Structures are given as C-alpha cells and as structure tokens.
Structure 1
C-alpha cells in the first residue's frame, strides 16, 4: 500500500497504527514470557547439600561453587534440566574428583571443586558443570569400547581424542571399575544427552587429563516460543529450530555427488551429507524439474548435515503446540505451530530426524 499510494494520508495513518499495534503486541509477549521466567538459583541451591552428602559417601573432600544464580530461565526448562544436572554433578564427584591422597600425590589441594555456572548469551542460556579432577583419558575410553565389543581395535585407534571422549554418550557405556550408589550402572550419559536434545539443546565436553572436565550445556531460553527457519517442501511447510541452523545454501544438480549411494555436496572443501526432506517424509513430486535446490545446514552434536528443501519462507518465532495423544509421536517431528495466516507448520526434531535418516 505504501508503494502504491505513498502520499496518501490514510495510508500513512494506517502504517503508524500498524507499527503501534506491533510495538504493543511485542511488549505484551515480553511481559507474558517474563511471568514464565524463574531464576535458575531455585534449581542450583540444592546442590551444595547434595555434593556434601555424596562426597562423604565417596570418601572425598569436595567444595561446590555456584555462579549466575540470578540467570532467568523458563520454568518448563528448569524442570527438564534438573535430572541432567544432577547426573553431571554425580559423575564429577564419582569419576572426576580424586580421593585426597591421590590429589596430594598429584600436587593438588586435598579438596576438589565442582563449579556450576549459568549465563545468557545471544538468546540462549549456557550452563557449565566443571570439576578440577582427573579428567577423561581418551586412551582409557578407546580400551573400554573395544573390551565391550562396541568397536574393533582398528576403529577405536582411528578415533581422534575428541571423538574418543564422546564415546561416553554411547548407551550403556561406563568407565566405572565398580558400581556404586553414586555412579549408577552406566545408563547415564546417553540419557543426559537425549534429555538435553529433546528440548533443542546441545552438550559439549572439554577435558584435560589431570586437570579436570567441563560439560557445557546450551539451551533455548523457553520451550513455549521457538525461533525457527520456515522451509517449503512441496505443499508442506516445516519449521527448523534456528538454534540448530548453521547456514543456508543454494545448490544446482551439478553440485550434488554421491558417496556409497548417499547424496553429498562439497562445502568449503568438506564433504556435507545431504538428506532430502521430500524423500524422508514421502511428499509427492509435483512434476517440475528444478534448476535450483536449497539446503539448510544443521548441526546436532558432532553431525553436520544439509537438509534439502524446495525453498525458504524466512525466519519466524512460532508458538509451540503439542501434537496431542490422537496424533501420537511422529518420527522426526517434535510439535506443530499455527502461522499468522492460519496454516499449520510442523516443527522438526533435528536429532530424531537424523536418526530417521540413518545418521547417528
């Protein structure tokens, strides 16, 4: 309207009114989201006592340090992150911190320290659980994975140190020599990773042998509203959480090669596996021969994949709606959203989608 009648006073009044309503609705949304927010200190305050009890059971001397208690997080996210944090603190005490005599021999103070930290960064919340213990030894993990028959000795030897450390996320994998009531039975870290991925979060490990380990968890601020990239595949619309999106690509058919019958493309000298959303969800072709395809480069854990789509519709913050019991669980889809024009879009569950595509 502004382009067609830019000097019309009625159009100018309409533009001002629309801008005013937009500001008010933004403020309303911010206020409603603020009501949902709670300081993460509500969750972290129970850890000092828990650490004291656990360290006494384990015969170790452990202090706990907490930073960022005032950092605010959606109440639904606080409930989801509770169990993963408890497990990471248990692991730090049981596997990370050494007994006092071992720490003295290594020239460390007798008392170990577990540090919990929380802060906001670019619309996300970062949580870290650190200890100054013995660290994770990649060589020990390589040996364990071969002993358990999960890999051959050659495959284990070919792993980088970073890949070897990530072995702790394998289901049923445990480095505990003996089972204690603190460490559990080796069914922990895979559950921790699954719980974090379920809320569109990621977990990374930084470790140094003899110096300690840090687990970093990156989470969206809320589960109620998700910033997404809307993509079109045939007549269907999908929403991909922006926290998982690295970049977007335009591809020509000549850019797509195959390795072991799987489509790939070259991205700045690296091989990028491609997954066609159309094939994955059996969306019928409309008979058009496309000169151009588009891909969304996503990252989940260590996996980087290009999701091939027909086109982009832009970024949008969507209000999450559960699919309900009638529909049940759909592989690769976490929930749905209703767009401004009343149409429905499906929100992609990226880790589940990669499992569905056979990429683990």
Structure 2
C-alpha cells in the first residue's frame, strides 16, 4: 500500500509538470479580436475568464487554431454591426467571451457572444441548397440538430468570401481537431441573444481511466469519461425499431452497437446474458454490446503509429500488465 501511494504521488507530480495554464494560448487573442473588429467596423469587447486553468502541454499546442476559428466566427457572424445592435435595443459594443474552467476530469473552454444567434432555418436552407441534406430530412430535424450542421465539412453561411470567412473550412476543422484530442465540441444558440460554443477536453492525454471489456478472445478499453453505466440484459430485451436494434433503459430508447459486427468478428454463440456498456458523446447515447466486462484500470495511451492512421474506430492502444495489447475504442466515431 505504501509503495502504491508513493507511485501514485510520483505519477501526480509528473502529470503536474506537464500542465500549462491556458493563458499561454489565450494571451494572443485580445489583439486578434481588436484587429478583426477594426476590419469589420464593429465594436467588440473580449472578456477572458479562467486563464489560470491548466491543461496538458500536448493539448495546449493543438488548441490555439480551433479557438481562433470560433472567435473569428463570433466576431464575423455573431456580433452585429453597431447600428443594427442599436435598433435591436442592444448596446453598440458587442461582448465576446472566452472562458475556461474545470469540470471533473475535463476542461471546458467556451466561446460566447451576445450577437444575432444562429438561425436554424437559414442553416437548413443552406444545407439543402448545397445538397448536404434533403428537404425531408430538414423537416424532421429539430433546431439543435440543425444548428450542429455548421460543423459539417464544406459548410459555410457567408454570402461572400472574405479574409475572415466564407471558405467553408473552419468549423469542420475545429470539430476534427477537438475530436483528435479526445474532446467534444457543441453549440447552444438563441436568436438575438447570442451563441455559446463549448469545447470539452480531457485534462491529460497520457493516462486515462478505462473500462476493459472482452469481445470473444480480444480485450478492448473504453475510456471511463465516455461511459454512463454498464448493465447486463437478457437477449429478448433488445428490440428492433426502424431496422435498428435498441434497448429501453429507464424510459430512454438507446440504440445499440454490436462490437462483433463493427469489428467483423465471426459470431460464435449466443450467451444467456448480454453485457451492454452505455456510452455518450455530448447528448447522444448508445449501448455497446460486449461479451464480458473485465474491470476498471488506469492505462497509458500509446499511439497506433503511421501505419494505422486510417483506423477511425480506435484512438490508440495500451500495453496491459501481462504484456497483452488492448486497443482503445474511440466512442465518438463509433456513434457517428
């Protein structure tokens, strides 16, 4: 136990050494916002909160570009011209916020503005015009899902191309960068009240808590941060709705992902009970069906190397105590 305590302390100290305050990234944005405001003839005030929040050095290096894109968007698309703001009864000066804070084992970075908000109908029409969705799909979409289309590759709402926006690259780059860091990005918006872009990132990318599961003879790791709960169900509890298998958990319908099918492992036999790991990314949930649960472990993430860069389903691998290799599942891409 003493040895265990010492090694845990040592690990915590080493982890702290890797931590860098986000102020090293945030410091370069006030000037950028001032320049953009001047270029667009807008009055914008940038407030920064929580710049002492610390993040892993590898995350800090990658996070600058996504935040820059989001800030540019807030200044260009979000905050209106001073005269327009006055007509709406708002102060002439627009407020853009950059906020960082801890939430459990994650750091949340938010880019907020008190601008025009994102019009879901405008987004739908633009997406239909570009052939990204059909009219039928648009009619079924609720506003929150419609607004998330801004993260789709090649999507842009700008009517003309400028130095600041309109190229259709930006939001999809933000999303892929954040997801590459095992993070998640989402947006909340209200018309004429403004928008909040929320980036959620893991504190560290080196060591994570994970649940080890078995699919036939192979072991896989699922990051604990993505797991809601684990349940075991009888095979007859799996229902089919619109050709998709689902389970009902506490009144909620959750689609299930069969690992055997995803990994194309030959099916051996049906067991009497099925284990389901309920995972989430943002608001979306899914149940991953596995053969058995092994338990929780702290694992060190190793990259898969350049040979396996195309493998979307796995975010890395780890070498277990007995020398075996377990692949780490990338929950976000499995649920797409």
Q: Output the TM-score relative to the length of structure 2.
A: 0.95
* Partner residue of 1:206 out of 188, 191, 194: 188
- Structure 1 gaps of 5+ residues are 1-18, 355-359
* Partner residue of 2:53 out of 71, 94, 98: 71
* Partner residue of 1:342 out of 320, 323, 328: 323
Aligned residue for 1:48? Answer: 30
Paired with 1:150 and 1:283, the residues of 2 have a C-alpha distance of 33
Superposition deviation, residue 145 in structure 1: 2.0
* Partner residue of 1:215 out of 193, 197, 208: 197
Aligned residue for 1:7? Answer: none
Q: Deviations over 1:97-155 (max 9, x none)?
A: 11111111111111111110111111111110001111111122122222222233332
* Partner residue of 1:186 out of 152, 162, 168: 168
Aligned residue for 1:277? Answer: 259
CA contact (8 A) 2:275 2:290 kept: yes
Paired with 1:160 and 1:133, the residues of 2 have a C-alpha distance of 22
For these two proteins, the number of residue pairs brought into alignment is 336
* Residue 274 of structure 2 corresponds to residue 293 of structure 1: yes
Superposition deviation, residue 309 in structure 1: 0.2
Paired with 2:327 and 2:228, the residues of 1 have a C-alpha distance of 20
Q: Deviations over 1:191-248 (max 9, x none)?
A: 2111111211111211111111111111100111122111111111111112221221
Superposition deviation, residue 260 in structure 1: 4.2
Aligned residue for 2:79? Answer: 97
What are the within-5 Å matches in structure 2 for residues 1-360 of structure 1?
19-285=1-267, 287-354=268-335, 360=336
CA contact (8 A) 1:234 1:284 kept: no
Q: Closer, same or farther in 2 for the Cα pair 1:139/1:327, shift >3 Å? A: closer
SS for the counterpart of 2:265 is coil
Paired with 1:351 and 1:123, the residues of 2 have a C-alpha distance of 18
Q: Closer, same or farther in 2 for the Cα pair 1:342/1:90, shift >3 Å? A: same
Paired with 1:258 and 1:144, the residues of 2 have a C-alpha distance of 34
Paired with 2:307 and 2:136, the residues of 1 have a C-alpha distance of 48
CA contact (8 A) 1:200 1:243 kept: no
After TM superposition, the structure 1 stretch with the greater mean CA deviation from structure 2, 130-139 or 325-334, is 325-334
Paired with 2:251 and 2:3, the residues of 1 have a C-alpha distance of 48
Paired with 1:258 and 1:157, the residues of 2 have a C-alpha distance of 24
Paired with 1:280 and 1:218, the residues of 2 have a C-alpha distance of 27
Paired with 2:221 and 2:21, the residues of 1 have a C-alpha distance of 29
Paired with 2:91 and 2:226, the residues of 1 have a C-alpha distance of 40
Q: Deviations over 1:264-286 (max 9, x none)?
A: 2222333322111122213344x
Paired with 2:82 and 2:307, the residues of 1 have a C-alpha distance of 56
SS for the counterpart of 2:162 is coil
CA contact (8 A) 2:159 2:166 kept: no
SS for the counterpart of 2:177 is helix
Paired with 1:331 and 1:204, the residues of 2 have a C-alpha distance of 20
